Amino acid sequence: MTDLNENIVDVPNPSGRGLRYWYFGAMKKLSGVRELFEKPSELRKRRTRYDIYMSTNASYYGYRDEEDGILARVEGPTKANMRTEAEEERQRVEEIKRKVNEVVSAGVLRETFCLRKRRM
């Protein structure tokens, strides 16, 4: 770069954005000036498997879900409903088993549902 007397002058910043150059308003939008103000894009470092492994903790696996109490409030009524439905289903199955045992013990259906092979 040269000064007014055509002498070569070292520029402290090779991009030309030193103390000597000031651009205001619409001058910043010119094509050559715009590149001077753009910062070079930084390359993002790729995360390694180790970095990903180190970022996983107990909350990732769901061990801290019950600490805030929200989960208990949401799941409480649902858990109670599921428990009563399961208990009712178990009672129905027990009743069916009891009836089947009564019929089988009476011998009415013993020959129909016999699992043994008949000898010929």
For every residue of 25-49, DSSP letters joined together read GGGGGSHHHHHHHPPPPPPPPPPPH
Q: Are 93 and 86 in contact (CB under 8 A)?
A: no
- In this prediction, residues 84-97 reach a mean pLDDT of 96
Across 5-105, the runs of DSSP E, i.e. the strands, are none
Regarding pTM above 0.75, the answer is no
- In this prediction, residues 95-111 reach a mean pLDDT of 77
| pLDDT at residue 92 tops 90 | yes
pLDDT tens-digit map of 48-72: 999 989 989 888 888 888 888 888 8
Token readout for 63 is 């061990």
Q: How confident is the model at residue 4 (pLDDT cuts 50, 70, 90)?
A: low
Q: How confident is the model at residue 37 (pLDDT cuts 50, 70, 90)?
A: low
- The SS3 of residue 90 is helix
Check residue 63 and give its pLDDT: 85
- Please provide residue 8's backbone torsions phi and psi, each rounded to the nearest 5 degrees: -75, 130
Percentage helix, strand, coil, to 5, in the chain?
A: 45, 0, 50
CB atoms within 10 A of CB 24: 6
Q: Are 64 and 58 in contact (CB under 8 A)?
A: yes
- In this prediction, residues 24-42 reach a mean pLDDT of 69
